[in-house]
Amino acid sequence: MTSSSPVHRAARLVHAAFGASPAVNELLDDLHEQFVHRSEDVGVVAARWSYRWELLRATPYLLRTTIRELSWSDASLLLVRLSAAFALLLTIESIILLNVAHSAEVLGLPRAWQPWNSTSPALPWWAVAAPSLSMLVFGYLAAWLDPDRPLRTVILASVVVAICTLLPLWPFVPSHVMRALLHAAAVFAGGLVRFTSGHRALVTGDR
Amino acid sequence: MTSEARGDLALNVLLAIARLGDDAYGLGIQRDIASSTAREYAVGAIYTTLSRLEAKGLVASSWSPPVPARGGRSRRLFHLTAPGTTALQMAHERERLRWVGLDGLLTPGIG
């Protein structure tokens, strides 16, 4: 198997996403051994698809393992990274909003276009979408700050965001839960964007 | 996975480890279960069950010497502990008790 073969690439993608812990290596070794046997039995193409399918089925285990292996120092580092991502997000948003506010005032836009103004009669659509967009950027930044295990960071960031969205809203109604899930999904999507852009060659198979 | 299915898989994993002896590793256990029950579990599900059983103290693991088939890397071998063997014996006894009193029904040619 060459180092650029799809199976090897999938393994490198898993390493990039979850880190190269002994548990991850052990699973990948087993799947590779299974791939070698199946290649002899059913051919390389079928074995390759089988390998990908098995890898997909193993994702819950990989997620559980990578979260269970979180040590206290890992957790504190993760907290620092999430805080840094949040601080970065606030800085970026402040710069954008201050510029938009200034431009809106200069251009004399109606107040409905100024969602930061508490007297606005209704929030425009882009202001409603803004929190999800913020969460998307937050996920991207969190993954960017942890190049070793970006997916683990993003998954934990999603959980943290969902909890932080839900907690102040007690007692929960379905729309609160939906909002929390939407935010968590946006964080994950942002992280996924960062991860795939950082490992484009592995994802697309380009050399 | 329901708790019943989880218990079923845990029992199958314990049985596979007992059958495989010194050669019980993740993929081997999966193959053994597939051949004895015709059910092909995901390797990830096998490892999840193994880590659960290890946390309960029913199985223990050690690393094998380097294996050429794995590019010189080791396999993590699992073996039953004393509580694991006892759990297997109890499961067998429970299963036996379920069938007590049905010998006549199960004898070929009757009914």
Q: Measure the CA angle with vertex A176, ends A174 and A180; round to 5°.
A: 115
Place of tokens 């390493």: A15
- The arithmetic mean of pLDDT across residues A152-178, rounded, is 84
Residue A77, pLDDT above cutoff 70: yes
pLDDT of B38-96, one tens digit each?
888 888 899 999 999 999 999 999 998 888 877 788 889 999 999 999 999 999 999 88
Residue A78, pLDDT above cutoff 90: no
Q: What is the pLDDT of residue B39?
A: 87
Residue A1, pLDDT above cutoff 50: no
Chain B residues in contact with A64 by the CB 8 A cut-off are 48
| Cβ–Cβ under 8 Å, residues A195 and A154 | yes
Percentage of chain A lying above the pLDDT 90 cut: 12
Chain B residues in contact with A36 by the CB 8 A cut-off are 69
Residue B19, pLDDT above cutoff 90: yes
Q: Say yes or no for a CB contact (<8 Å) between B70 and A29.
A: yes
Gap between the Cα atoms of B82 and A13, Å rounded? 40
Q: Say yes or no for a CB contact (<8 Å) between B44 and A57.
A: yes
Q: What is the pLDDT of residue A2?
A: 45
Gap between the Cα atoms of A29 and A27, Å rounded? 5
- The arithmetic mean of pLDDT across residues A142-166, rounded, is 87
Gap between the Cα atoms of B72 and B103, Å rounded? 52
Closest residue in B to A23 (Cα–Cα):
B47
pLDDT band at A116 (very low <50, low <70, confident <90, very high): low
Indicate the burial class of A174 (C-beta count within 10 angstroms; 0-12, 13-18, 19 or more). exposed
**Shortest Cα distance, chain A CAs vs residue B7, angstroms:** 17
| Arithmetic mean of pLDDT over chain A | 81
Q: What is the pLDDT of residue B27?
A: 92
Cross-chain CB nearest to A27 (options B43, B69, B73)? B43
Q: What is the pLDDT of residue B30?
A: 93
